[in-house]
Structure 1
């Protein structure tokens, strides 16, 4: 009995030693998840995006009875991208399926409808399906494949400049087999379309999210009254009571004689404000009340000032 107890004690001691000396090895997936979480924690405020309808540049699914806005492949692609961006919980995503020109979005940002920072446009540039079959003496095999290629563009709403473009491809397939007439059979599998488009968008979604997160969060000033500054944007964009923000004066816009493009000079910080209250119950009307903690801002609604992250 004593020897058994001794062996058991030694085994326990050995296990403790191994546990203490064995290094913790993290998988690539775990490391990537941890890094993504750290990036998300670093950038907490969400910018507003609008996803327009994808155009279908292929012949698949096109019909004389459908215009571009009713194209099923384009609708599938925009719906899938909207869903993926929303699932990241890093952006406020709005659908604008009727956008055909950037000027429409520019006019929206000056009116009552929500103005966004970035407009996302896309095109399905390649789509195809194929069916391969093999028949033996006692068996039959059928494989259906779908392949898609999409191009996605990120457009600055204020300037109309395409600041990033990405192209992704993906495919999906399904196989059915029968032996002596027994087994699964399949007709045309329409779900392969969604899966191929989803795979194509998934190939570039991380790249797009990275570029979008590089954008500076900013919002406008609604009103200044004494030491209180009312701004648009609230809880749904990640603002909390106690957050400190920077009020900056927009740089002067000068047209370059060399390129003909308008160039905005660097902005100048003029004040610091702290969030003291949030109001509004939707993305359409949410805002925040802030108090000036340093600097000065004249009463009224300044047109050349905006608020950004500290």
Structure 2
């Protein structure tokens, strides 16, 4: 018995370590989540679209796989920046203009169903509803969109339908005096169904834009001949690791659409060894190649 518990504990600890390393090996795209459009009827005046956005932002932040940028309230941020740089405030801790991050992807959605229904009504319809087919059910249905900002292309359009069992069809009685998205709401059938639906949304967003492998790049070329990489302990870079510096290959463009459809393989520009690892960057020394021929932004591939 003790041996079994020990084995499970070792496997659990090993799994945690693997998760941290895996997260560090992926790029972290910069995204913004817009307020969801709500087309579902509901007896209370909840801000379902805004609340869904807020909960989804929290879920995305907790994955540590995304850089989530404020956009719905950006006007307030801009006004504060303008005020700080108007000359009316002291110079200390003044925020600089031109530092707001650009967004690579926009996430938005439309909520089409949100409420309690009889299971006979629900399961007589086609769709990908989850949950039990007995009794009454709480349902949530949405269409999720992920948009690539640079091209304006919708790269994901996904219908998410979810259901969980409930004992009552009385919406007013069940949710009276309950705030949308709060801890009490989370324990209700609607809270549970939203939890499952947004779990699926986070998984889908991750599949679409957060599975691109992260590659360290040259962030700075120091006067003493060392190189700064744009990742450190946060990216699981290890001391004495060897990296190959790659020159970027030519971009392949579709002659009909003008879209970038690929890139030719790059050529090796040198090799380096990691000398020191900091929390979010690393210092490396050049083993092969001429540092004068290297430029900021060059990708580095771990030598196998």
Q: Tell me if the contact between 2:252 and 2:264 (Cα under 8 Å) persists in the aligned partners.
A: no
Q: Where do 5+ consecutive residues of structure 2 fail to align?
A: 1-10, 75-97, 119-134
Deviations 1:68-102 (A, max 9, x none): xxx9434433343344344445x2533333399xx
Question: Which has the greater radius of gyration?
Answer: 1
Distance in 1, Cα, partners of 2:225 & 2:300: 15
SS of equivalent to 1:199 = helix
Aligned to 1:295: 289
Deviations 1:6-51 (A, max 9, x none): xxxxxxxxxxxxxxxxxxxxxxxxx9xx999868756742422334
SS of equivalent to 1:47 = coil
SS of equivalent to 1:274 = strand
Distance in 1, Cα, partners of 2:73 & 2:242: 35
Aligned to 2:114: 128
Shift of 1:215: 0.6
Aligned to 1:306: 299
Shift of 1:290: 1.8
Aligned to 1:271: 270
Q: More strand by proportion, 1 or 2?
A: 1
Q: How many residues align?
A: 243
Q: Tell me if the contact between 2:141 and 2:161 (Cα under 8 Å) persists in the aligned partners.
A: yes
Aligned to 1:186: 174
Distance in 2, Cα, partners of 1:246 & 1:165: 38
Deviations 1:214-245 (A, max 9, x none): 31213542222354111323322333333433
Aligned to 1:15: none
SS of equivalent to 2:109 = strand
Distance in 2, Cα, partners of 1:243 & 1:161: 39
Flag the 1:41–1:219 CA change in 2: closer, same or farther, 3 A: closer
* 1:106-185 equivalences in 2 (<5 Å): 112-114=99-101, 119-130=105-116, 145-153=138-146, 155=148, 161-172=153-164, 174-175=166-167
> Does 2:52 correspond to 1:77?
yes
Q: Tell me if the contact between 2:219 and 2:228 (Cα under 8 Å) persists in the aligned partners.
A: yes
> Does 2:221 correspond to 1:224?
yes
Flag the 1:54–1:307 CA change in 2: closer, same or farther, 3 A: same
Length-normalised TM-score, structure 1? 0.58
Aligned to 2:33: 53
Q: Tell me if the contact between 2:24 and 2:234 (Cα under 8 Å) persists in the aligned partners.
A: no
RMSD: 4.6
Q: Where do 5+ consecutive residues of structure 1 fail to align?
A: 1-30, 63-70, 101-110, 133-141, 178-184, 281-285
Flag the 1:235–1:38 CA change in 2: closer, same or farther, 3 A: closer
Shift of 1:298: 1.9
